[in-house]
Chains A and B, each alone.
Chain A
Amino acid sequence: MRVVIADDMMLIRSGLARLLSEARIDVVGEAGDADELMKLVALEQPDVAVVDIRMPPTQTDEGLVAARRIRDEWPATSIVLLSQHLDSRYAQRLFADQPAGLGYLLKERVSDIAVLVDALRRVTEDECVVDPSIVATLMRRRRSGNLLSALSERELETLTLIAEGRSNHGVAGVLGLSERTVEATCAAIFRKLGLESSPDSNRRVLAVLAALRS
């Protein structure tokens, strides 16, 4: 797997590069801002670009703008966006256009190399990746509400994993269940939440996020 990294902090860039190399992932370039990133992607055409959302010059959403351009110009390159803060509304909008092959992770998450490698692998397989903390926040709030009180413990676990962007196959792998069981659980969850079940796991993420936010 070939990866480029874009972050204006040297410390983060080199740390990430070191961690990824140790996990035997090929880091083919590092960029300090959005322009460098675009050049690098054009040159290397990597499998994944790991991009910090806040970069110079305005430190607002340069990374996000660059990610959109990469999606348009190099659709084969998947993207993992990193942010110091997470915002469920932001995530919802981010995934609204084209969720496949896109990840949105809390920056500090990447220090857990297993999580990062898992996310990289999933985006290259055209899944989407929503940071667990976003889902956890929404789920925690909803536990007191009546929407989720109808769900069993197993169903809540499954819903969490679905909201994080995992496919049925992925959910089955995490929970140690058969894919068929997961499918049945999903159907039950969607019926209880009054949602339309979709075979596309990425569209499913959006529906679940919207339901949890509403």
Chain B
Amino acid sequence: MPPTRSLIAAAGALLTAGVLIATVWVSVLDDASRDVTSFAERRLPLVVLFAILAIAAAVPFGVLGSSHDVTVAAGLTLAGTTALTPLWAAWPDLDPRWRALALATGPLAVAGLALMARSWVGAGLATASGLLHALAYNPFGDLGCARVCAEIPAVLEISTDRLTLLVSLGLSVAAGFVLRSALRRRGIAIAAAAGALGLAAMAVVRWHTTGDGDAYADLLLAGVPIPGLVALPAVAVRARVARRRFAVRRLTRHLAEDPEGLLELGNNVDASLLSAGQQLALRNADLAKEARTHLAEVQASQRRIVAAVDAERRRIERDLHDGTQQRLVGVLMQLSGLELKEVEHQVREVLADLRSFSQSAFPRVLEAEGLEVALAELTATSDAELRLDIQLARPVPPEYARALYALVALAASGTVDVSVVSRDDGFDVTLVGLARADVGDVQDRFGALGGTLAVTAERIEGSLPCAW
């Protein structure tokens, strides 16, 4: 849901755009015999008319571009609209009253520009001038209206000459206030003040040329592009922002699949250029990165633990082999020939136990001969009926071999289908027909390598990502 000020700006833009379109429409309808405006007579080259309209067309964009400041947007809307409405007097089907009103709205454009510069006094003076103009306007006294205006009694009886003088005076003073306010505020207010001064100057010229119909029409037309000119800086800023925003949006779309890139972008662009959704995505990517970092730390520590456990098991196996087992063999040799059969038997049993213990602590065959041979040996020597399906397209790194071997070694009884397959990005292992299994240790090994184990009744599915 866009904020209220955006809605107001959108309404203003729609209004000014609508008035502009209506004005062009009215001019097209205009028939050549009525010369309220220079449109009708086409005394100006067509290209100049187009240029004037094109500049006037900047107003709606300027209003949109000023959406952050409701006063500016409202002022520009007022100026843009009232600069055009006098041209409506050329519309043949318009009620004379409305036509007179349309012709009288001109001074309000200065009020709009004064609003843009936040010059309340200027706005008040210009509005007062407009009101005075509307109240005292006598179409018959206005040469510009001579042939198209029906008689409408004016509320106030003031001669046209004097009225024009008063209005031009009021607008000039108003423009002065606008300028004063603009010098304090700078920015678009300066453009507004320039526009107000321009319009005031035109009012003075109009007073000076009272009675000259052509000059009147030309002055009306000359006032049309002024709000557009004032709006141009806002449009330029707006266009730059829109271009950047568009570029950012396109980038974010490209980077949606690439959180690292999104984060980098986030570090390099002004967050105010991003929409709320994009900022949320950025925040999300930030949190995700944090989570990934934590996960990587946890995994690294898990790997260290598994590696430490393996190192310890290797040490135990070696100690048993080089120490305890050898000494027991030595004991057996010394017992030989002493006819102590029962003792000898017991020592042999201890040796067999030690052998199986050290084998399970650290399967040397896995390290010396690799996963495939180790699994084949497991199959050949265990009581389980292991049906192996091993498809390894690449060498298996030792940690991965240990994890996969540990998983398959769980299947120590019954008839189990074992499949170990290497993919481009890791390994898939499936055990089907497993009677029961405690996967605790194996789960740790898989977790340390970023893998997963899914254990269901009689079925274990594991997956190990591996970058090689």
Contacts and interface: CB of A to CB of B under 8 A. Distances in A.
Interface of A: 9, 11-12, 15-16, 18-19, 22, 54, 59-61, 84-85, 87-90, 107-108, 110-113, 137-138, 140-141, 144-145, 212-213
Contact of A9 (B326, B337, B368): B326
Nearest to B334: A15
B186 interface: no
A85 B359 contact: yes
Contacts of A107: 325-326, 329
Interface extent on B, as a size class?
20 to 34
A117 B328 CA distance: 21
A111 B332 contact: yes
A10 B335 CA distance: 17
A59 B322 contact: yes
Contact of A84 (B355, B376, B381): B355
A89 B373 contact: yes
7 tightest Cβ-Cβ pairs between the two chains A and B: A15-B333, A111-B332, A11-B330, A213-B380, A111-B333, A9-B326, A108-B329
A84 B327 CA distance: 12
Contacts of A88: 377, 380-381
B369 interface: yes
Majority secondary structure of chain B interface residues (helix, strand, loop or mixed): helix
Contacts of B373: 89
Contacts of A16: 333
17 contacts: A9-B326, A15-B329, A15-B334, A59-B318, A84-B326, A84-B355, A88-B380, A88-B381, A89-B376, A108-B351, A110-B333, A111-B333, A137-B380, A141-B381, A141-B382, A144-B385, A145-B385
A112 B382 contact: no
Nearest to A140: B383
Majority secondary structure of chain A interface residues (helix, strand, loop or mixed): helix
Nearest to B335: A111
B336 A9 contact: no
A7 to B, nearest CB: 9
Contact of B336 (A89, A112, A141, A144): A112
B344 to A, nearest CB: 8
A111 B329 contact: yes
Contacts of B381: 88, 137-138, 141
A61 B369 CA distance: 12
B325 A12 contact: no
B332 A108 contact: yes
Contacts of A140: 383
Given A87-B365, A137-B381, A12 B329 contact: yes
B240 interface: no
A136 B34 CA distance: 121
Interface in B361-405: 364-365, 368-369, 373, 376-377, 380-383, 385
Contact of B380 (A18, A60, A85, A138): A138
B321 interface: yes
A88 B385 CA distance: 17
Contacts of A60: 368
A108 B325 CA distance: 9
B368 A12 contact: no
